[in-house]
Amino acid sequence: MSKSLHRPALGRFLAAMAAHATRATYAAVVVGIVAMVLLTVDSAYEAAPHLISGTLWACLAFFVVEWAMRVHDAGRTHGMATYFFAGTGLIDTACIAAVPLALLLGVEPRSAWLLAVLWVMKVLPAVPGLHQLRRVMVVEARPLLSVLALFLLVLFLGAVAIYVLERDEQPATFGNIPSALWWAVATLTTTGYGDVVPVTPLGRIVAAMVMICGLGVFGLWTGILATGFAAETRRDNFLKTWESVSQVPFFATLGPAAIADVTSMLRTIDLPARTTVIRKGQPGDCMYFIASGQVEVDLPGKTVVLDEGAFFGEMALLGSNLRTANIATTMLSKLLVLDLVDFRLLMARHPDLVSAIDAEAQRRALENQ
């Protein structure tokens, strides 16, 4: 019994240690990158060469210790080979090996330490948008490749056309197709450095067409990526809300189709402790389900605590539209919000569920009298 009681505490301790270790890693990355930048500033390096070098070596030593601990943990769980060939393992290994390897090969120290820029890659696994970008690139691979083919086609055709039209007028600039390709890249990407400019009327017409095509091509790429990101965001939000909805007892008896219907109506909010969710006397336009956490209802003469799986705020939707109590979170809580319009749709589609909510609301009203 005592062991089972200690398991949640141990889990929280390990989670806290992992969070602190992550923060320490990010701090070491920031300090190391700042030291690397100062290394390139002659005045700063001449003023404190030992401090800058010592900071870089200390950051490298920290990453070596972190790498050794991860290798040890991998050997005890899923195997070292899995860690070394995973993305995180490759990044960690490159971060600790690049600078020492460069120094061993005889690279000048100030140049070798520029490889510390690889430390920035240690924050990549924590960027959720990059995971979404990878999924979008995989899902939208065919449309993206089609636009890429169009880009290359316009690029090559524009380069050949400008070479034919401008080679006699500007042989030094457009004397060969590789030079014309550089112009086409700068023009098609709408950068237009201005270092290479057509002078013939037909050449300028070609340049205008290439610039317009560049706007269209990059507009297509932007549209594909934006649509893909929006779809992935909706998918992630749907899955998170589905998981939260399935944990609420009132929704547990619903079938998958009904849960999907309810999930599309709900939105999720995460609130810290001691956050006021509802104020007495304010108009009510939504109700809340507690997916995780706890809230405290401040009633006249007493306080009621609602735990995970409960709901509140339904009184304003079923009867008077004014809130009847102050409600605040007591800990970090995840709430599912059902707006008034969606509540009415839910009443029409799932009368049994609404009957249960109505019965619970009446029971609470009698208790609160």
Residue 191, token pair as written in the block: 């950068």
Structure tokens at 206: 């070609």
Q: CA torsion, points 232, 236, 241, 243, in degrees to nearest 10?
A: 140
Closest C-alpha among 256, 270, 243, 284 to residue 334: 270
DSSP 304-339: EEE-TT-EE--HHHHS-SB--SEEEESSSEEEEEEE
Cβ neighbours of 41 (radius 10 Å): 11
Between the two ends of the chain, the Cα-to-Cα distance in Å is 41
Q: According to CATH, what is the number of the domain 249-368?
A: 2.60.120.10
Per-residue pLDDT of the chain (369 residues; tens, 9 = 90+): 444 444 444 444 444 444 455 778 888 889 999 999 999 998 988 888 899 999 999 999 999 888 888 887 777 776 666 777 677 778 888 888 899 999 999 999 889 999 999 888 888 776 767 777 888 888 888 999 999 999 999 999 999 999 999 988 888 888 899 989 988 888 888 766 667 788 899 989 998 899 888 888 889 988 998 888 888 877 877 777 777 777 666 666 666 777 777 777 888 888 998 899 988 888 888 888 888 889 998 887 788 888 887 888 877 666 667 788 889 999 988 888 888 888 778 777 777 666 766 776 677 666 655
Q: What is the predicted pLDDT for the residue at 4?
A: 43
Q: Beta strands 286-292 and 276-278: pairing type?
A: unpaired
The structure tokens 């005890």 sit at 76
Rounded distance between C-alpha atoms, residue 55 and residue 33, angstroms: 10
What integer pLDDT is reported at residue 11 of this predicted model?
44
Task: Give the residue extent of every domain in the chain.
Answer: 17-126, 141-233, 249-368
Q: What is residue 338's predicted lDDT score, i.e. its pLDDT?
A: 83
Residue 193: its pLDDT value, please?
60
pTM of the model: 0.59
Name the architecture of domain 141-233.
Orthogonal Bundle (1.10)
Report the pLDDT value the prediction gives residue 19, as an integer from 0 to 100: 46
What's residue 280's pLDDT? Answer: 86
pLDDT given at position 149: 92
Tell me the two tokens of residue 282: 């304010």
Model pLDDT, residue 15: 43
What values do phi and psi take at 16, rounded to 5? Answer: -65, -40
201-246 vs 177-188: helix axis angle to the nearest 10?
50
